């Protein structure tokens, strides 16, 4: 197979003047429409940080993406919503998995501890909200192209705000700049699917705020965004905030709270068994004009975490107390601790590792794939099982107690076999994985009794593609790898298994593209860039 794009698209745009004109169009549109990030400290000194933004790294052209794979990933999203809602409801299942990894993973152990503490006193909020993103790459197997899941994100799934803008940027360029380029490939008719990520994610937040209902304490309700200090990807989050304000006609204000300031800016309502979470607007004195010296107080209906997914947000015991305060409060957490834990890569592995033939003999008729026990526990109808199963790549446990785990240990420590794999710990946010030939050496530094807290995943090998990336004002042209993310929003009742889902939507997509020499693809981490799909 040569290339599924037939070679002429996207063009390299070699003529200097054409290239400059296109780059100018991208820069100006991006700045005018908030397709931007804060500049890194190396570009702008600290005191200018608050008044400067720069265009987010982006491809000059929407990358070709196989339509069938795109549609399959979108179609399976509400099934994924349901799957992860059910996993979150099952603390017995999650507890067992936590036990398997917690020995080698203090962070997971501490998260679980927050859940146990709240469980002991009793949860006061049964509703849970997920703003999910399921990430995929296209796997090329001969002439066959399959959509395969890289990971499922249950916390701080980012770029929904910027990705809708990226789709609009490429649409705009297709109506203005591309037709003026001399390269015939640039003038091809493009099929650019609409992208509702901003609207969809904000609608999820609104569904939760509506379900929370009015304050019984007589406050205005609000949504709190928990964010990291020094966040550069702030406009991505602002797009969601502005859209939520638009959808609620201003009835539900949004407040951004740095994770480190949770205990200073929020409190649990005194003397109320319902443990409402109050947000105290800093006013520098008498904020509400009634002369009592107190600032305005709001009741948080929803707490949306864009922080708290990794150990660096928990430098001390107070940070864990802060997370505990959110978890035990009446605010609908997005995500709750259980939902965050459902996103462990170990969960993905347990869902994807096939039933061994000996233990599945009861349902071993030749037409039924060897679905895992875990998948069968949560999903019961054949079409949903088959739809999810098709998207799973091969993933192995790394424990010594199962045949699959022993096979993985052999693969991971063999200098040749390891070339086809990536080793992952239970972490989010990029930069944590070990690839190919580096795996045996890395494992040699980890005590063997902790290997079980990792998973070993077969590398997905996408078809060759090229594109041009504009990053920090400079162009990089060459081979690229694309990763599709499909957003899902889901609001459910933790306490009842049947009919528990109040809202479930496939909520738009993200395409992230990286140079094919880079293993990691995070945009925020500086490796990847924003892109959109041109369906082929």
154 in contact with ligand ADP (CB under 6 A): no
Contact (Cβ atoms closer than 8 angstroms) between residue 497 and residue 479: no
Which does residue 429 bind out of ligand ADP, Mg ion, none, counting CB within 5 to 8 angstroms by kind? ligand ADP
Q: Cα–chain-centroid distance for residue 506?
A: 14
- Structure tokens, 103: 């020995």
Nearer to ligand ADP, 216 or 516 (CB): 516
Q: Please identify, among the stretches 199-207, 214-222, 293-301, 420-428, the one whose residues bind ligand ADP according to the rule CB under 6 A.
A: 420-428
The label of the residue with tokens 């002991």 reads: 120
Cβ of 15: how many Cβ atoms within 10 Å? 12
CB 396 within 8 A of CB 404: yes
Among 135, 196, 236, 327, binds ligand ADP (CB under 6 A): 135
Position among 196, 483, 505, 531 found at the interface with ligand ADP (CB under 6 A): 483
Residue entry with tokens 């400079």: 474
Considering 384, 424, 508, 532, which one is annotated as catalytic?
A: 424
Q: Residue from 150, 155, 268, 455 that binds ligand ADP (CB under 6 A)? A: 150
Could you say which of 432, 450, 476, 526 contacts ligand ADP (CB under 6 A)? Answer: 432
Q: Which does 299 bind (CB under 5 to 8 A by kind): ligand ADP, Mg ion, none?
A: none
**Helices 197-212 and 234-247, interaxial angle, to 10°?**
60
d(CA 378, CA 364): 19
State how far the Cα of 44 lies from the Cα of 39, in Å rounded to an integer: 6
241 is catalytic: no
| CA trace torsion 173, 177, 180, 185 (10° rounding) | -50
Confirm whether 428 is a catalytic residue.
yes
At its nearest, how many Å lie between ligand ADP and the CB of residue 522? 6
Provide the token pair at 392. 């799973």
Stretch of residues binding ligand ADP (CB under 6 A), selected from 214-222, 225-233, 370-378, 423-431: 423-431
Nearer to ligand ADP, 135 or 243 (CB): 135
Instruction: Tell me the sheet residues that pair with 134.
Output: 152, 486
Catalytic pick among 82, 134, 148, 151: 151
Task: Choose the binding region for ligand ADP from 16-24, 63-71, 191-199, 518-526 (rule: CB under 6 A).
Answer: 518-526
If one asks whether residue 531 binds ligand ADP (CB under 6 A), the answer comes out as no
- Distances from the Cα of 519 to the Cα of 480, 530, 531, angstroms: 11, 16, 18
Residue 520's binding partner out of Mg ion, ligand ADP, none, with CB under 5 to 8 Å set by partner kind: ligand ADP
What minimum distance in Å lies between the beta carbon of 135 and Mg ion?
5
Determine the Cα–Cα distance for residues 336 and 338; give it in Å rounded to an integer.
Answer: 5
Where does this chain touch ligand ADP (CB under 6 A) — which range of 38-46, 326-334, 358-366, 454-462? 454-462
And the tokens for 110? 């501490």
**Token pair belonging to 293:** 């010296």
Place of tokens 């399921």: 134
Strands (E), 373-426: 395-397, 421-424
| Catalytic site includes residue 100 | no
In this chain, which of 226, 262, 374, 457 binds ligand ADP, going by CB under 6 A? 457
Tell me which residue has tokens 């100006």.
28
What whole-number distance in Å separates Cα of residue 137 and Cα of residue 144? 13
- CA-CA distance, 468 to 10, in Å (whole number)? 8
Pick the stretch among 149-157, 261-269, 278-286, 394-402 that binds Mg ion (CB under 5 A).
Answer: 149-157
Specify the residue, 323 or 345, whose C-beta has the smaller distance to Mg ion: 345
> Is 158 among the residues known to form the active site?
yes
DSSP per position, 415-464: TTGGGGEEEE-S--SSS--EEGGGHHHHHHTS-GGGGGG-EEEEPP-PPP
Interface residue with ligand ADP among 430, 440, 464, 526 (CB under 6 A) is: 430
- Give whichever of 151 and 505 is closer to Mg ion, judged by the CB atom: 151
Using rule CB under 6 A, residue 424 touches ligand ADP? yes
Binding site, annotated residues for substrate: 133, 155-158, 231-233, 237, 306-309, 512, 523-524
Of residues 18, 72, 183, 428, which one binds ligand ADP by CB under 6 A? 428
For ligand ADP, the closer CB: 231 or 520: 520
SS3 labels along 66-77: CHHHHHHHHHCH
Q: Single out the segment in contact with Mg ion by CB under 5 A; choices: 70-78, 150-158, 358-366, 496-504.
A: 150-158
429 labelled catalytic: yes
- From the CB of residue 49, how many other CB atoms can be counted at a distance below 10 Å? 16
151 is catalytic: yes
Least separation in angstroms between CB 423 and ligand ADP: 10
Q: What are the residue numbers of the active site?
A: 133, 151, 153, 158, 345, 424, 428-429, 512
Residues within the interface to ligand ADP (CB under 6 A): 135, 137, 150-151, 393, 422, 424, 428-430, 432-433, 457, 459-460, 483, 519-521
Residues within the interface to Mg ion (CB under 5 A): 151
């Amino acid at each position: 197979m040569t290339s599924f794009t037939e070679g002429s698209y996207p063009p390299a745009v070699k003529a200097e003047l054409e290239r400059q004109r296109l780059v100018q169009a991208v820069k100006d549109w991006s700045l005018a429409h908030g397709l931007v990030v804060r500049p890194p400290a190396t570009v702008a000194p600290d005191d200018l940080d608050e008044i400067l933004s720069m265009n987010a790294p982006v491809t000059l052209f929407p990358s070709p993406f196989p339509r069938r794979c795109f549609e399959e990933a979108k179609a399976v999203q509400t099934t994924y919503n349901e799957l992860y809602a059910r996993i979150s409801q099952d603390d017995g299942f999650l507890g067992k998995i936590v036990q398997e990894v917690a020995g080698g993973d203090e962070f997971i152990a501490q998260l679980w501890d927050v859940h146990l503490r709240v469980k002991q006193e009793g949860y006061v909020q049964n509703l849970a909200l997920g703003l999910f993103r399921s990430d995929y790459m296209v796997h090329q197997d001969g002439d066959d192209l399959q959509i395969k899941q890289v990971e499922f994100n249950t916390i701080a799934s980012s770029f929904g705000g910027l990705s809708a803008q990226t789709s609009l940027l490429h649409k705009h360029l297709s109506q203005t700049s591309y037709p003026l380029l001399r390269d015939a490939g640039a003038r091809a008719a493009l099929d650019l699917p609409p992208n509702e990520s901003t609207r969809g994610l904000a609608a999820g937040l609104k569904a939760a705020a509506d379900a929370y209902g009015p304050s019984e304490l007589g406050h205005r309700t609000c949504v709190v965004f928990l964010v990291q200090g020094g966040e550069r990807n702030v406009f991505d989050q602002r797009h969601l905030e502005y859209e939520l304000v638009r959808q609620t006609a201003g009835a539900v204000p949004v407040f951004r709270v740095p994770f480190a300031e949770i205990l200073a800016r929020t409190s649990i309502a005194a003397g109320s068994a319902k443990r409402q979470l109050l947000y105290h607007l800093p006013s520098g004195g008498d904020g509400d004009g009634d002369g009592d010296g107190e600032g305005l107080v709001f009741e948080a209906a929803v707490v949306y975490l864009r922080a708290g997914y990794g150990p660096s947000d928990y430098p001390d015991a107070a940070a864990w107390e802060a997370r505990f305060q959110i978890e035990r409060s009446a605010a609908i957490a997005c995500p709750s601790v259980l939902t965050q834990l459902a996103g462990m890569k170990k969960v993905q592995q347990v869902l994807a590792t096939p039933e061994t033939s000996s233990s599945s003999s009861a349902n071993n008729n030749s037409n039924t794939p060897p679905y895992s026990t875990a998948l069968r526990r949560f999903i019961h109808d054949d079409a949903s099982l088959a739809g999810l199963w098709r998207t799973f790549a091969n993933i192995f446990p790394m424990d010594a107690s199962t045949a699959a785990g022993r096979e993985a240990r052999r693969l991971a420590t063999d200098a040749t076999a390891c070339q086809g794999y990536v080793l992952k710990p239970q972490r989010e946010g990029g930069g944590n994985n070990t690839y190919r030939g580096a795996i045996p050496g890395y494992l040699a530094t980890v005590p063997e009794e902790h290997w079980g807290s990792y998973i070993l995943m077969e590398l997905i090998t996408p078809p060759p593609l090229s594109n041009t990336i504009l990053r920090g004002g400079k162009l990089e042209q060459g081979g690229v790898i694309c990763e599709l993310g499909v957003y899902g929003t889901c609001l459910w009742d933790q306490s009842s298994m049947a009919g528990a889902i109040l809202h479930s939507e496939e909520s738009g997509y993200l395409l992230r593209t990286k140079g094919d020499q880079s293993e990691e693809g995070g945009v925020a981490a500086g490796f990847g860039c924003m892109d959109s799909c041109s369906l082929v």
